[in-house]
């Protein structure tokens, strides 16, 4: 019986994870669940899944959750705050941690799971983007197992050889990898007239053609910053230099990514676009379990298209490649500026095309440094957030 903690249980990935777990009660039990503010949803999840512990963002939310659980006669212990999140990620009772908090808020508990040597199912790409080297070092030191949930990285993982239970680094000649082909749907604005992008609303940006996701990642998909963050994620997960990661637009989202080998082989992973497939893959790895996702009917797919991205339409993609090449804390600056700019767009303080302008200004203004401690990364994160707020204030005026 595997005992699981889900960080971000009320989000899109969290809900999909609980759906897969509920299909296999003989294999998995829920140890702990976390949510930031959606207390009613978390209470319903606790009533259905009976975790030992539940963590929310504030004392006020904890009080409300405890009252709901008491009324339902559920004995889940209720806690709040970052230290409690780290505790449910590293507790000795836990086997696997689904890291599905959105954004930098997920860094501390995900890192706690890495240091404690857990099996980490990583959805929270922002944590890895911010602290790549530190995070991978923590995983290597503790012997934690890191399995990617992001569909592209899960596909790449499945298409990579395993040498002695480890995925080799792309940069090592022995892996035989020529390059990683990271597929991207292109989001809702792939073919929209660029001149009209100024005017798109948060509702339009969040309407992804193929995937149903949280609001932040949906906006990231519309700007293609999501793919930029995924390039940095792939660099760390697979030891891949920037020039061996190629982004390919594939609007149908049937091929979830590919690995191109030196002998001319290209391996791809295909499936219907439903996150329960990579979640089930990582939960059961190296075995396979049912996920509830319908089998892909290959004869139903009329065409698969592939083309190169247009960097003028998607400047965020170029900004992310620049940050990866710059190294150090540059990706943490990029990530923090993006989080603030996306929230300002969702709050209708700035327009869609101002998201990339804010990020470009922040990374231009702030010198990046060495990412050699979490304190250094968090200081850069805070500086970038403040710079982004100033920039948004000027734009909004
Ligand atoms: P979501 O917005 O639907 O859910 C986010 C979860 O994080 C919620 O449970 C929320 O309570 C929690 N949370 C938010 N702010 C928090 C804070 N300050 N402190 C603690 N908890 C907080 O997001 P999502 O779409 O499920 O995405 C989660 C992560 O998975 C993101 O990093 C995203 O990039 C990644 N991801 C998502 C998908 C997808 O299909 N949704 C695919 C690939 C990767
Ligand atoms: Mg993805």
Q: Per residue in 57-75, pLDDT tens?
A: 999 999 999 999 999 999 9
pLDDT digits 0-9 by tens, 358-367: 999 999 999 9
Same domain flag for 268 and 331: no
Same domain flag for 8 and 128: yes
Alpha helices in 294-368 (DSSP H): 315-326, 330-346, 353-365
Same domain flag for 126 and 42: yes
- Residue 362 within any structural domain of the chain: yes
Which positions ≥6 away from 19 have C-beta within 8 Å?
A: 276, 292
Retrieve residue 169's tokens.
Answer: 């680094």
- pLDDT reading at 165 higher than 90: no
Residue 194's domain spans which residues?
173-272+295-300
Cβ of 32 closer than 6 Å to ligand 1, yes or no, is no
Same domain flag for 202 and 128: no
In total, how many domains does the chain have? 3
- Residue 309 within any structural domain of the chain: no
- pLDDT reading at 94 higher than 80: yes
Q: Vertex 129, ends 128 and 135: CA angle to 5°?
A: 35
Number of CB atoms found within 10 A of residue 76's CB: 23
Same domain flag for 24 and 144: yes
Whole-number Å distance between alpha carbons of 13 and 96: 15
Q: What is the pTM of this model?
A: 0.98
Q: How confident is the model at residue 212 (pLDDT cuts 50, 70, 90)?
A: confident
Q: Counting ligands in written order, which one lies closest to the CA of residue 12? A: 1
Ligand 2 centroid–CA 152 distance in Å is 5
- 328, 269 in Cβ contact below 8 A? no
Cβ of 124 closer than 6 Å to ligand 1, yes or no, is yes
For residue 302, what pLDDT is reported? 80
Cβ of 14 closer than 6 Å to ligand 1, yes or no, is yes
- Residue 226 within any structural domain of the chain: yes
Q: How large is the ipTM?
A: 0.99
- pLDDT reading at 397 higher than 80: no
Coil/strand/helix, residue 159? helix
């Amino acid at each position: 019986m595997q005992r699981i903690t889900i960080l971000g249980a009320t989000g899109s990935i969290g809900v999909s994870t609980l759906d897969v777990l509920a299909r296999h009660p003989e294999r998995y039990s829920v140890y702990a669940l976390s949510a930031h503010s959606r207390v009613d949803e978390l209470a319903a999840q606790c009533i259905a899944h009976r975790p030992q512990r539940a963590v929310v963002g504030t004392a006020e939310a904890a009080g409300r959750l405890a009252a709901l659980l008491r009324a339902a006669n559920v004995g889940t212990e209720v806690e709040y705050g970052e230290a409690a999140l780290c505790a449910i990620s590293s507790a000795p009772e836990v086997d696997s941690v689904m890291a599905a908090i959105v954004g930098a808020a997920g860094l501390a508990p995900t890192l706690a799971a890495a240091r404690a040597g857990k099996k980490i199912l990583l959805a929270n790409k922002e944590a890895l983007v911010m602290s790549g080297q530190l995070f991978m070092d923590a995983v290597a030191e503790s012997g934690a197992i890191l399995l990617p949930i992001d569909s592209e990285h899960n596909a790449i993982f499945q298409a990579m050889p395993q040498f002695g239970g480890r995925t080799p680094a792309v940069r090592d000649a022995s892996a035989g990898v020529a390059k990683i082909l990271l597929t991207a749907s292109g989001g809702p604005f792939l073919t929209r007239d660029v001149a009209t992008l100024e005017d798109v609303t948060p509702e339009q940006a969040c309407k992804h053609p193929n995937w149903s996701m949280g609001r932040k990642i949906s906006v990231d998909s519309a700007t293609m910053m999501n793919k930029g963050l995924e390039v940095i994620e792939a660099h760390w997960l697979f030891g891949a230099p920037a020039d061996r990661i190629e982004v390919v637009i594939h609007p149908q989202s049937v091929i979830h990514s590919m690995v191109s080998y030196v002998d001319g082989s290209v391996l791809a992973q295909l499936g219907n676009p439903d996150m329960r497939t990579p979640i089930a893959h990582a939960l059961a790895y190296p075995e396979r379990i049912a996920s509830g996702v319908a089998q892909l009917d290959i004869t139903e797919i009329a065409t698969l298209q592939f083309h190169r991205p247009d960097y003028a339409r998607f400047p965020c993609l170029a900004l992310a490649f620049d940050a990866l090449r710059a190294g150090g804390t540059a990706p943490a600056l990029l990530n923090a500026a993006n989080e603030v700019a996306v929230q300002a767009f969702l709050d209708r303080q700035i327009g869609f095309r101002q998201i990339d302008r804010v990020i470009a200004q922040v990374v231009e203004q702030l010198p990046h440094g060495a990412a050699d401690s979490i304190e250094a990364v968090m200081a850069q994160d805070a500086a970038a957030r403040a710079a982004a707020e100033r920039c948004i204030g000027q734009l909004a005026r």
